[in-house]
Amino acid sequence: MLNPAVYDIDQQLNETLQSLDVEETTGHYWDQGEFVVLEHLIPTQLVQEFMREVERVRPQINRNFIPGHKKGGSVSFYLLQQSAPAILAFYRHQGWINLLSQIAGVP
């Protein structure tokens, strides 16, 4: 059973995805060389929750640096499970995954 916060995210994403014109978005994606911007697609409330979770895990980022190339960082899956359930729910949301697959034309 989903916890209430994750259920709310699931419900909000489902509603958001249902409102999207997938055919039109797919057309824009291909017309623009496999690139599309969907401004304000994710509800502000969800984005704010994602940002709160980012701030919670920020102190535990594992930083890396490759000279002349890039710097980056990562957090463990277990930390996301503990401290960032909304981000993890978004990452795993089957409707979101299906949408991206459909737009890009790949399974």
Tens of pLDDT, residues 87-102: 999 999 999 999 999 9
CA angle 20, 40, 45 (to 5 degrees): 105
Backbone angles phi, psi at 71, to 5 degrees: -125, 150
pTM: 0.80
Q: How many domains does the chain have?
A: 1
The residue range of the domain holding 92 is 4-104
Residue 20: partners with Cβ closer than 8 Å, 6 or more residues away: 38, 41, 99
Tens of pLDDT, residues 51-73: 999 999 999 999 887 788 778 88
Cα–Cα distances (Å) from 21 to 2, 5, 13, in that order, read 28, 27, 14
